[in-house]
Amino acid sequence: MAIESIKMPQLGESVTEGTIEKWLVKPGDHVEKYDSLAEVNTDKVTAEVPSSFTGTIKEILVQEGQTVAVGEIVCTVETEGGGSESAQPEAAPAQKEPANEMPAEGSQKPKSPVKKEKGAAAGRYSPAVLRLSQDHDINLADVDGSGRDGRITRKDIQAIIDSGEKPQPRSAVEAPASAKQSAPAAPASSAPAQSVPNVPVAAGDIEIPVTGVRRAIANNMLKSKHEAPHAWTMIEVDVTEMVKYRDSLKAEFKQKEGFNLTYFAFFVKAVSQALKEFPMMNSMWAGDKIVQKKDINISIAVATEEALYVPVIKQADEKTIKGIGREITELAGKVRSGKLKSSEMQGGTFTVNNTGSFGSVQSMGIINHPQAAILQVESIVKRPVVMDNGMIGVRDMVNLCLSLDHRVLDGLVAGHFLARVKEILENVSPETTSVY
């Protein structure tokens, strides 16, 4: 017999942690190699963790709702012979240690300064933890970790950033009287405020637990707002001819292709074409450099009752309006049926959000980190417009609202880009535009 470890897998590029949403097995269950063990939320998508071995589930080390770093052990499997003996001692501490369990909301874990010094403070930091702590000038020696053996996770650092208060220097509390620091130790009551706000709950109020997906959305939006200096601009577009053209094709297209030809497909096509002409808009901030992406991969926002997902249309500039329309339909269907794969959420370079589907006429989107811009396509409304000949006519008008990362993009390139999108959309017609 041997005890093998199942670790939190890397479920996508730049993913550093995952949340166990639901265990599909329990201790004592027999599993075959590649059987699904648990559902994990990461990067706003649910994936399944497969077993790497055939055997019996020995121990589950991570509870449902707990977030752990990629590479950390989540459970152990007892196999028959040929296994690694090294997995046993690594899994054993978790059986006794409360450090593997997430503290209850609003509560503090018991602290063990000596153990912390031997564990997390000894340098067991992931690259994501190091980068985030350095960006926000947080001393890791003063941080209490919630990971395995007191390890500091990215979530611990993010909680400190969210609270707006840096941890009290450990030396002020733990150093002996003979320590070099002359400042008196601060009382326990002056410790940093917890990141969870104290919201009073009255009779009749409904408390809704935060799911892993909702927490991932919150963290990504907060990261974007904290790191990217947002700028915003808007342009109005006369899409009267585009509306006429699409409406003339709608019924025949649905009968022939089996899915609806939406206005949104025209907008995504126009944006992808303009990105090809203004490649700087298809860029990302990377600290000491700006990365201008070669592929034009359009992220689209798809909402469910519980969350917002952002699947990606790859190489959108190479696709026809029909091809883009089909992908929009298929990706939205996968989101709503829970079948969207992690790989279908990766690689986006620019986001187009169809806020107009909810009747919105003006909005300011939060950039989908680490992209440099997001375009909100608002509702198409009929409005009286003064024409070039001085006459007033009723036209189909839409507002396009662009949020941009001012570290990467300036108003000049953003203005030219929006003007080009406007030009493309206002010149859609049966003579100049094919959906195939």
To which residue do tokens 């409005």 refer? 383
pLDDT for 180: 38
Q: Which residues, 6+ apart, have CB-to-CB distance to 99 below 8 Å?
A: 109, 145, 146, 147, 148, 149, 150
Q: How far apart are the first and last CA of the chain?
A: 61
% of the chain surpassing 70 pLDDT = 78
| Average pLDDT over the chain, rounded to an integer | 81
For 132-261, where are the E strands, in sequence order?
230-238
Catalytic residue among 135, 247, 295, 410: 410
Q: Which of 273, 265, 263 is nearest to 323 (CA)?
A: 265
Q: What is the pLDDT of residues 298-307, one digit of tens each?
A: 999 888 877 7
| Amino acid, single-letter form, for residue 108 | Q
Q: Residue 163 in 3-state DSSP? A: helix
How far is 90 from 96, CA to CA, in rounded Å?
Answer: 12
Contact 225, 412 (CB under 8 A): no
Burial of 170 (0-12, 13-18, 19+ CB in 10 A): middle
Catalytic residue among 136, 230, 406, 416: 406
Active site residue 406: yes
Q: Residue 65 in 3-state DSSP? A: coil
Q: Which of 44, 43, 106, 49 is nearest to 72 (CA)?
A: 49
Tell me the sheet residues that pair with 38: 23, 49
Contact 37, 25 (CB under 8 A): yes
How far is 426 from 436, CA to CA, in rounded Å?
Answer: 19
Q: Looking at 20-24, 54-58, 90-94, 365-369, which range is the least confident one? A: 90-94
Confidence at 44, pLDDT banded by 50, 70, 90: low
* Whether residue 96 has pLDDT greater than 60: no
**Cα separations (Å) of 384 from 204, 240, 317, 397?**
47, 12, 33, 9
Question: What is the CB neighbour count within 10 angstroms for residue 148?
Answer: 22
Mean pLDDT of 139-165: 75
Q: What is the pLDDT of residues 311-351, one digit of tens each?
A: 999 999 999 999 999 999 999 999 888 888 878 988 999 99
| Amino acid, single-letter form, for residue 338 | G
Active site residue 410: yes
Q: Which of 344, 362, 367, 409 is nearest to 221 (CA)?
A: 367
Query: Please, what are the domains in the chain?
Result: 2-96 (2.40.50.100), 107-172 (no CATH), 229-426 (3.30.559.10)
How far is 270 from 225, CA to CA, in rounded Å?
Answer: 27
Phi and psi (nearest 5°) for 22?
A: -160, 130
